Structure 1
Amino acid sequence: MKIAIIVPMEIEAEYYHKYFHSGRKEMFGSTTFEHFCVNHNDLYIGLSGIGKVRAAMNLASLLSNVDIDLIFMTGTAGSLQEEVHKEDLILADSFAYHDAHNILAGDYVEGQIPGEPAKFELNSSARKQFAQFLQENNVEFKEGLIVTGDSFIGSQKQKDEIKQNFAHALGVEMEGAAFAQVAYHFKKPLIALRAISDNGNQDANGDFDHFAQKVGAKAAKIICTYIEKMN
């Protein structure tokens, strides 16, 4: 099986570099992917870069050149709900764009790009197996919608504006819906595990670097353990 792990930032990817060694490097898009063999699986680990365009470009370039069977997206997100706390894990069941406003252009809903689904649903058997693995290993996680936009959310005002259109969204970040859109068009299963690094409010900037590294390692350890147990 060929497996891709893609994360936006280096501080979110540090754990993978400590866990896997002796990989060869290959360039896809504007980023370098490290290529490992783990338990008879080919593993490609790369940094997408920050934001929707770089995320889509680099994942699409990989998928155009390598017949990837499964995509893991990991990294961090900000909380949108009071019951979602720092260090919580969110296994996304869907993604939408919180900065796509096209209801005046036709029969669309908030978050929908014309010609695309209203939300990108993640309902593959691979995702269900991963959720079962988390449950069997007593890993606490929440499931739900995560929304994506090209802005860092660092104020209560920004959070409130997003929640007007996405009242039940659990988290907010800058790449996930772009990954999901690419995976949808390439017909590849995507497993998205985001760890909460901040509350998406005025304290977010001060919290982010510290918690991003900590919770990024938490999510990465779980994914690495799962991959090592895959047949």
Structure 2
Amino acid sequence: MIGIITAMDSEAAAIRSVMHVESTTETAGIVFWTGTIEGEDVTLALGGVGKALAAMAATLLIELCDPDYILNAGVAGGLRDTQKVTDLVISSRIIQGDYDTSPLDGPEGFGKVFDPDIRLVNHARQILDELQLPSELGEVVSQDKFVARPEDVAFIRSHWPGAACAEMEAGAIAQVAHAFRVPFLAVRALSDVTGHDDNPMEFEKFTEVAAENTARFIRTWCACL
């Protein structure tokens, strides 16, 4: 069974549009839809925005549903000048960008890092070749903030030059999945890109379109298993 975690209603709705839903449950405010996509068993969780809710959603999903692996699907903000809205990013690494115990632990305590499952990465790359959607492999940086200010972007770029996008959940989900030894991958469509005229406005305008690209990816993922 495939576990999928999203943060926002628009992300979950896009995935439900390609899903045959058989049941809906709710635990501690986390909504779970169970059913199939292209014949594959799936449980979709709507966790909420931010790392705390994401960690809770991942823990409940693993404990209640025992997924074979977890896909964190949704939208993110692009960090590269060459990117365009609705491009897809597949995680090469997932970084908690606001984790910092360096005063105690030195450089090792700055930015908690998790590697996705390489088999999931390779499957994702095959699907993107088939869909011919603009995409790239890159680092996903999680922080409990919407990255829009120039100083926020500069901070990420200075510490993680390989960062492709910023968002607010993948780092927490990756940490929970790692603790439970459940394979994990983040798949993000860009709803906005830094350096464009108005990041927040772009986010509002393109979130649904970006979410639809993620759902298209998920549907093809299941069809190709």
- TM-score, normalised with respect to structure 2: 0.91
In structure 1, C-alpha distance between the alignment counterparts of 2:3 and 2:126, rounded to whole Å: 20
1:100 partner SS: strand
Give 1:19 shift: 1.9
2:100 partner SS: coil
Question: What amino acid maps onto 1:132 in structure 2?
Answer: Q
1:152 partner SS: coil
Give 1:139 shift: 3.3
2:17 partner SS: helix
Question: Residues 196 and 215 of structure 1 are in contact (CA less than 8 Å); yes or no, is this contact kept in structure 2?
Answer: yes
For residue 207 of structure 2, the aligned residue among 204, 212, 228 is 212
Q: Which 5+ residue runs of structure 2 have no aligned equivalent?
A: none
Match of 2:119 in 1: 125
Does residue 105 of structure 2 align to residue 111 of structure 1? Answer: no
Tell me the matched-pair count. Answer: 223
Identity value in percent: 26
In structure 2, C-alpha distance between the alignment counterparts of 1:74 and 1:168, rounded to whole Å: 20
| CA deviations over 1:161-186 (Å, ceiling 9, x no partner) | 22221222111000011111111111
Question: Residues 97 and 148 of structure 1 are in contact (CA less than 8 Å); yes or no, is this contact kept in structure 2?
Answer: yes
Match of 2:186 in 1: 192
Give 1:34 shift: 0.7
Match of 1:166 in 2: 160
Does residue 198 of structure 2 align to residue 203 of structure 1? Answer: yes
Match of 2:73 in 1: 74
Match of 1:225 in 2: 220
In structure 2, C-alpha distance between the alignment counterparts of 1:21 and 1:37, rounded to whole Å: 5
Does residue 90 of structure 2 align to residue 95 of structure 1? Answer: no
In structure 1, C-alpha distance between the alignment counterparts of 2:214 and 2:194, rounded to whole Å: 19
Question: Residues 110 and 165 of structure 1 are in contact (CA less than 8 Å); yes or no, is this contact kept in structure 2?
Answer: no
1:45 partner SS: strand
Q: How does 1:120-159 map to 2 (within 5 A)?
A: 120-159=114-153
Normalized per residue, the structure richer in strand is 2
RMSD: 1.8
Give 1:195 shift: 0.8
Question: Residues 45 and 61 of structure 2 are in contact (CA less than 8 Å); yes or no, is this contact kept in structure 1?
Answer: no
In structure 2, C-alpha distance between the alignment counterparts of 1:87 and 1:135, rounded to whole Å: 16
Give 1:151 shift: 0.6
Most deviating of 124-133 and 77-86: 124-133
Question: Residues 19 and 35 of structure 2 are in contact (CA less than 8 Å); yes or no, is this contact kept in structure 1?
Answer: yes
1:179 partner SS: helix
- TM-score, normalised with respect to structure 1: 0.89
Q: Which 5+ residue runs of structure 1 have no aligned equivalent?
A: 113-118
Question: What amino acid maps onto 2:63 in structure 1?
Answer: S
1:81 partner SS: coil
| CA deviations over 1:136-178 (Å, ceiling 9, x no partner) | 4433310011100001111112111222212221110000111
Question: Residues 140 and 164 of structure 2 are in contact (CA less than 8 Å); yes or no, is this contact kept in structure 1?
Answer: yes
